Every structure is written in structure tokens, then in C-alpha cells.
Amino acid sequence: MSSIKHQPLLAWVVGVVLFSILCAHAISPDPGAIRKSVSDGQLLAQATLRPIPGTVAAFGLGWRLTPHAPGYINAPPNNLRIPPVPKPTPLIVPVPKATPAYKYTFRVLAAHPEITGRYDEIILTNSLRHRMDPRLVKAIIAAESEFSNEALSPRGAIGLMQVLPITAEELGVPRSDLHDPQANIRVGTAYLERLYRAAWKQYRLKGVKYQDAPLWVVERIIASYNAGPRALTRNSFMRQTRNYVRKVLLFYRSDVSEFRRSPKRTGGSFLPPRADVLP
């Protein structure tokens, strides 16, 4: 008896489904017409993108997908943070040019290799130990003290590489030893390596060899040796610091930074860098 009662209902459901299918088939456009409309650009001109709730909004992209009339230019909202295009890092000294005073100093030092070459073995040995460019170490010595072991700055920096006593003590060398060329160059080279490590961390240069450092990084390391570690992240420098960087770069390229002695204990052969590595 129950099956007889449900038969009219089942027939009615089947009829509604068949009627829906027939209607959908009757009003559906011809596939060829759809392709023609797309190729003619009619559908593309009328198409609008609708935002997907909760998904694109989470990435700040909802403003790009809101529907508008054709030809409407949709600007981003004011609260959207678009990352700026990174600018090239400027050089402290784009083109180091020698002044007449610099040229005179270069000529005097270059004419006395017995002065500029007396510490070559110490410089090379400590540069290898700390993975530093020995020409750069020698150029810093030339700029800091002009190879005078008795040099003393108004700020209390001592010796060939003008090392501050507090820096020497941090690296395990007492103040009284800073007039010893071996100790002074050892501390100065170790401090230079510390600046390199700080620059590699600051600018995420992991995997880049020290000798492959970009010039703008090398210039900031040189500036930091003169003005302190904070100079690593600066883009503006005092004239004294700019002059110091210029002087080191010029010494680096000159004959003053040539090596005439080889270290006795290096564990292998060593070839000093060419003078044209830095500009």
C-alpha cells in the first residue's frame, strides 16, 4: 500500500528533472558562437573578476580583483604596503682621484722600499691567517701611519695600524705590546676580519668569498676601520672618512702596496692580489 502512495511523488520528481534538462539544452548557446565571441573580444570586454572572500584578502590582493566597468583603472587602497624598488647602494668614493698632496706622499714612500717592505712577511702571514687581502692590509698601514711604528693619534691609536688600546685588549693583546710590529699588525688584521664578518652578516653575503666582495662593501669596511663599526650601514659620511677611504684605495693601487718579501711559513705558495682588483 505504501509503495502505491509514493508512485505519484516519484513520477513528479522524474518529470521535474527531465523538464530542467530540456530547458537547459534549449537555452544553451552554440559552442561555435562562444568561441567566436571570445575571439572577437566581446566576452572579454564584458568579463569582470570577482574577489574570492577570505583568500585574496589575506594577501592584500582583493583590490586587484574587485569588479568594475570596462576601462576603469582600479588604484590600490591607501593602506596597502607595496615594497619599494631597491636602489643601488652608492659608493663612498666613486672615482678615487689623487690630490697633489697624495701624489707627493706616494712618490716618497714608493722611493723607499726599505721602509714600505720591512713588514711584508708579517703582513702576509697575518693576512693568510685571517683570510684578508694583504694588499688591503698594507694599504691601511700606509694610510694610517705611513709605516711608522711610533705613530700615535690624538685619539690614542697606536702603531702601524693605529690600534686603540681597548680594541687590542678585546683581542687579547695588552696596550704595552702595540708598539711591537708583530702584535700591532696581528691585532689590526684580526679587527679587519671582524669588520668583514659583521659586513657579511649585515648584508647577508653568506657563501661569498671575501675576495669577491662588492666594491661598495669593501668601501664601507674601510670606512668602518676609520670611523667605527656603525659606518657599515651608513650612506652619508664625514669628509674625513671619505678622504680616508680615498687614500686607502689609492694606496691599494699604487706601488706602495707591492710585496717584495714572502712569508717563511705559509703552508704553501702564495700570490699577492693584483693591484687592479679594486678601482
pLDDT tens by residue, 102-138: 999 999 999 999 999 999 999 999 999 999 999 999 9
Chain centroid, CA 9 distance in Å: 76
Enter the pTM of the model. Answer: 0.65
Q: What is the pLDDT of residue 7?
A: 61
DSSP line for 103-121? HHHHHHHHT-HHHHTTTHH
Q: What is the pLDDT of residue 30?
A: 56
The whole-angstrom separation of Cα 164 and Cα 178 is 9
Buried/exposed code over 108-124 (b: 16+ C-beta within 10 A; e: otherwise): ebeeeeeebbebbbbbb
Catalytic residue among 114, 144, 169, 219: 144
3-class secondary-structure state, position 265: coil
pLDDT of 157 above 60? yes
Query: 144 an active-site residue?
Result: yes
Q: In the 8-state DSSP scheme, what is residue 29? A: P
Residues 6+ apart with CB under 8 A from 235: 89, 90
pLDDT of 94 above 70? yes
Would you state the cell numbers that stand for residue 40, as one nine-digit string?
572577437
pLDDT of 93 above 60? yes
**How many other CB atoms are there within 10 angstroms of residue 9's CB atom?**
9
3-class secondary-structure state, position 256: helix
CA angle 181, 187, 192 (to 5 degrees): 120
